[in-house]
């Protein structure tokens, strides 16, 4: 059963056709890896899904509901949580507060009750704090809960960002290169968290990743983008054998040489 | 106020999330309040009118500006204009026999409304461009005030072309607020309430959304924060604080609503105060206000003293010039070396003693 679908998505920037008729299907409970050479359009596709870019053509459907063209905050409220390729944590907030911002969209207290710290606001703050602590436990970051996020190294920033996205209680999680810039040990931790999120919370995940080892290990299906087009899709093994994929990657390598 | 954390363990999130988490913090705040209550029994008239009352009333304004600029990241060069709106509104309401507290709150609300309108550009522009747009408030509002006020103030109460208005003596529940002593306590009570409100805002959902927008507006939006809503809220609440402080300035400090006081110079001073005190810090607003009030007094005394010692007269023009240089230089230096301002130095002292005697 498809929970998220992108149909025939097109988008151009000036003369650059970043996406040309891309289809994507994410099924309930699966991890879908999106791979492709640099500049293939992976991040652009995520930006279209999360409402940051409006596709020139095509639709985005979440549980069958059309969310194309909704403003990004409404898309978040509809149930799409994500992290960013170039981490985008809130430097001035602590780790705990960063994660609590994730809960912002489903919290209800308005500015008056916040100002008075009355009844609803107080109850809700404590509730959300408890919820955030569960995420903090899960990600094993208890020791830094009161550290300003701006002071953290990359490995922990990526973890905090994952925590923040989880606090949104999303229906779908988009992870844009969550392992970029991490060392081997940190990558293993992150891979474990992604698997746990998927298995224990039953959350479907779209994972953009360059590390083929990780992709082959943890994804159920793989989709390959090149120059804004989908060139292959299937199980990790099928995709690895696909001559088009080999070509795309070899092409990049020979260009790079 | 030294926050010793050693030996303090919270067993519920409720106590861990209290306004002052550590008993020593609670005690030091209590101690500070005691000092605030005792000081006026020893203060001279000069202390009241040159230091204490301006400190209490201006701090409300810097608190508001810090919520807007320090927390939400919306730079405003029009704060003095919103102060003026509050000051005039409250004065006029008092003339029409509206009770004191209601006049102050309504002054704040009127400023909030006007601030909201001048905040609308923030939906589209930010940073320097937004600062320029708020500068418009600083030019438009005093002009509008000088046009509108003569129309609504009964003749005889306004002087100097109609835009200088003396408020009647305010009274609280039938008691006149007249002496410096009384003005001090009424201002103190209102400042305490406004401070608690500000602290509550910044530690809850609203404050987190503001800082999120300030630090990374794209991420904030993609996490579901309605950016425009929270920016406008920052303008409205920041201007509400400005309006309330304006009412108290007019009633208790200046004793008159005079549009010339609320000029660009004041807006820049307040902005400098929160930069020096600490952007995004409640206590920083207190430090910053104390700084802008004490700096001229300190320079005046020390330069006059030095001048006398060296045997020449230091003119007030020179002192004012030096004040501007020192102030400007400090703003620049702090922006470069310590954007968190005096509050950061304070934090360092606290961190040192927090775990004392086990500071390892
Ligand atoms: N906002 C934008 N303005 C102009 N061009 C853009 C914009 N966003 C993306 N592009 C272009 O679209 C193309 C795809 O970029 P995208 O960032 O999606 O690639 P990617 O697959 O995520 O690459 P990487 O692996 O390097 O992250 C690139 O040519 C990029 O320059
Ligand atoms: Mg990318």
pLDDT tens per residue, range B114-159 = 999 999 999 888 888 898 889 999 999 999 998 888 888 876 666 7
Residues 6+ apart with CB under 8 A from B234: B67, B68, B71, B72, B74, B119, B210
Check pLDDT > 60 for residue A33.
yes
Beta-carbon-side half-sphere exposure of residue B159 (alpha carbons within 13 Å): 5
Asked whether the predicted pLDDT for residue A254 surpasses 70, the reply is no
Host H or E run for residue B158: strand B158-159
- Check residue B54 and give its pLDDT: 97
> Which residues are near ligand 1 (CB < 6 Å)?
A 13, 16, 18, 36, 38-44, 85
Q: What is the mean pLDDT of chain B?
A: 88
Measured from the Cα of A42, ligand 1's closest atom is: 21
CATH 1.10.3470 fits B47-355, yes or no: yes
Q: Per residue in B58-86, pLDDT tens?
A: 999 999 999 999 999 999 999 999 999 99
Confidence of residue A52 (pLDDT cuts 50, 70, 90): very high
Q: Is the CB of A138 inside 8 Å of chain B's CB atoms?
A: no
Give the per-residue pLDDT at A250.
63
Write the residue in A84, A101, A168 that is nearest to B212 by C-beta: A101
Q: Name the closest-CA residue to atom 29, ligand 1.
A: A39
Contact A114 B212 (CB under 8 A): no
Q: Give residue-wise pLDDT tens across range B248-295.
A: 999 999 989 899 999 999 999 999 999 999 999 999 999 999 999 999
Nearest ligand 1 atom, CA A45: 18
**Is residue B218 within 8 angstroms of chain A, CB to CB?**
yes
Among A124, A129, A168, select the one facing B223 at the smallest CB separation.
A168
Percent of chain A with pLDDT over 70: 97
Residue B7 has pLDDT above 60, yes or no: no
ipTM here? 0.93
Torsion of CA A126, A132, A138, A141, to 10 degrees: -110
pLDDT reading at B2 higher than 50? no
Sequence-distant (≥ 6) Cβ neighbours of residue B280 within 8 angstroms = A92, B66, B70, B71, B211, B214, B340
Distance from the Cα of B243 to chain A's closest Cα (Å) equals 17
Ligand 1 centre from B247 Cα, in Å? 53
Residues in A touching B280 (Cβ below 8 Å): 92
Q: Give the closest residue to B248 by CA, choosing from B343, B126, B359, B111.
A: B111
B84 vs B8: CA distance, rounded Å: 46
Does residue B288 sit at the A interface (CB-CB below 8 Å)?
no
Query: Which one is predicted more confidently, B331 or A140?
Result: A140
Instruction: Say how many C-beta atoms besides its own lie within 10 A of residue B250's C-beta.
Output: 30
Residues 6+ apart with CB under 8 A from B125: B133
Mean pLDDT of all residues in B320-344: 85
The predicted model scores a pTM of: 0.92
Task: Report the CATH superfamily, name and number, of domain A1-79+170-257.
Answer: P-loop containing nucleotide triphosphate hydrolases (3.40.50.300)
d(CA B211, CA B169): 41
B-chain residue closest to A129, CA distance: B13
Ligand nearest to the CA of A42: 1
Residue, of B277 and A247, whose pLDDT is higher = B277
Domain range summary for chain A, segments of one domain joined by +: 1-79+170-257, 91-167
State which of A16, A179, A225, A252 you would mutate to test the pocket of ligand 1, scoring each by most atoms of that ligand within 8 A of its C-beta: A16
Calpha distance B178→B34 (Å, rounded): 23
Which atom of ligand 1 is closest in space to residue A40's alpha carbon? 21
Please tell me the residue having the least CA distance from ligand 1 atom 3: A13
CB contact under 8 A, B218 and A88: yes
Which pLDDT band, with edges at 50, 70 and 90, does A251 fall under? low
Interface membership of B309 toward A (CB under 8 Å): no
Name the closest-CA residue to atom 12, ligand 1.
A18
Reduced to 3 states, what is the DSSP secondary structure of residue A16? strand
Residues in chain B within 8 Å Cβ distance of A165: 223
- pLDDT for B171 equals 80
Cβ neighbours for B161, distance < 8 A, ≥ 6 positions apart: B146, B150
* Alpha-carbon distances, residue B306 vs B18, B149, B329 (angstroms): 49, 46, 21
- Name the residue of chain A whose CA is nearest to B213's CA: A90
Q: Indicate yes or no: CB of B197 within 8 angstroms of CB of A129.
A: no
User: Which one of B208, B215, B218 has the shortest CB-CB distance to A104?
Assistant: B208
pLDDT tens figures, B168-218: 888 888 777 888 888 999 999 999 999 999 999 999 999 999 999 999 999
Q: Residue A183's pLDDT band (boundaries 50, 70, 90)?
A: very high
What pairing do the DSSP bridges indicate for beta strands A16-27 and A205-208?
unpaired
Residue nearest atom 18 in ligand 1 by C-alpha distance: A41
Whether pLDDT at B1 is above 80: no
> Which DSSP state fits B249?
I
Residue A3 C-alpha to ligand 2 middle, in angstroms?
23
The answer to whether residues A187 and A214 touch, using CB atoms and an 8 Å cutoff, is yes
- Going from N- to C-terminal start, the domains of chain B cover 47-355
Q: What pLDDT is attached to residue B31?
A: 87
**Strand B257-258 to strand B164-165: parallel, antiparallel, or no bridges (unpaired)?**
antiparallel
């Amino acid at each position: 059963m498809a929970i998220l679908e992108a149909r025939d998505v097109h988008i151009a920037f000036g003369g650059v056709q970043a996406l040309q008729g891309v289809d994507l299907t994410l099924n309930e409970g699966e991890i879908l890896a999106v791979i492709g050479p640099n500049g293939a359009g992976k991040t652009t596709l995520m930006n279209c899904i999360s409402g940051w870019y409006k596709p020139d053509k095509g639709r985005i459907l979440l549980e069958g509901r059309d969310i194309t063209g909704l403003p990004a905050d409404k898309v978040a409220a509809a149930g799409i949580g994500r992290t960013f390729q170039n981490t985008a944590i809130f430097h001035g907030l602590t780790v705990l507060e960063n994660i609590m911002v994730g809960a912002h969209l489903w919290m209800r207290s308005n500015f008056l009750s916040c100002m008075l710290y009355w009844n609803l606001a107080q109850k809700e703050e404590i509730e959300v704090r408890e919820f955030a602590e569960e995420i903090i436990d899960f990600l094993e970051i208890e020791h830094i809960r009161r550290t300003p996020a701006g002071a953290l190294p990359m490995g922990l920033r990526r973890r905090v960002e994952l925590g923040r996205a989880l606090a949104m209680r999303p229906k779908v999680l988009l992870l844009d290169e969550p392992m970029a810039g991490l060392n081997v040990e940190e990558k293993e931790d992150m891979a474990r968290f992604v698997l746990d999120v998927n298995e224990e919370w039953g959350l479907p995940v779209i994972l953009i990743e360059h590390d083929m080892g990780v992709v082959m290990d943890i994804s159920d299906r793989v989709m390959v983008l090149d120059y804004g087009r989908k060139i292959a899709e299937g199980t990790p093994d099928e995709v690895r054998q696909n001559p088009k994929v080999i070509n795309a990657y070899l092409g990049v390598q020979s260009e790079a040489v | 106020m030294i926050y010793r954390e050693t030996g303090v363990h919270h067993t519920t999130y409720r106590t861990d999330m209290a306004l002052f988490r550590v008993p020593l913090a609670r005690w030091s705040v209590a101690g500070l309040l005691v000092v605030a209550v005792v000081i006026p029994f020893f203060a001279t008239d000069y202390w009241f009118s040159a230091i204490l009352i301006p400190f209490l009333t201006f701090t409300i304004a810097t608190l508001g500006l810090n919520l807007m600029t320090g927390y939400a990241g919306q730079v405003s060069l029009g704060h003095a204009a919103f102060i003026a709106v509050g000051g005039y509104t409250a004065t006029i309401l008092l003339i029409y026999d509206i009770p004191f507290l209601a006049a102050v709150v309504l002054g704040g609300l009127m400023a909030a409304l006007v601030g909201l309108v001048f905040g609308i550009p923030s939906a589209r522009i930010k940073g320097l461009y937004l600062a320029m747009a708020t500068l418009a408030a600083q030019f438009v509002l005093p002009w509008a005030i000088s046009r509108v006020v003569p129309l609504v103030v009964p003749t005889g109460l306004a002087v100097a072309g109609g835009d200088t208005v003396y408020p009647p003596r305010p009274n609280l529940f039938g008691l006149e607020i007249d002496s410096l002593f009384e003005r001090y306590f009424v201002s103190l009570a209102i400042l305490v309430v406004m401070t608690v409100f500000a602290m509550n805002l910044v530690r809850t959902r609203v404050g987190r959304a503001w800082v999120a927008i300030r630090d990374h507006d794209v991420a904030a939006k993609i996490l579901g924060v309605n950016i425009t809503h929270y920016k406008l809220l920052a303008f409205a609440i920041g201007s509400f604080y400005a309006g309330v402080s304006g009412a108290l300035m007019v009633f208790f400090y200046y004793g008159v609503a005079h549009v010339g006081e609320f000029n660009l110079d004041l807006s820049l001073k307040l902005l400098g105060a929160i930069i020096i005190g600490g952007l995004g810090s409640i206590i920083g607003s207190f430090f910053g206000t104390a700084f802008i009030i004490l700096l001229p007094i300190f320079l005046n005394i020390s330069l006059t003293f030095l001048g006398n010692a060296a045997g020449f007269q230091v003119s007030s023009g020179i002192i004012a010039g030096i004040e501007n240089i020192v102030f400007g230089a400090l703003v620049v230096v702090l922006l470069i070396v310590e954007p968190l301002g005096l509050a950061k130095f304070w934090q360092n002292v606290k961190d040192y003693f927090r775990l004392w005697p086990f500071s390892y």
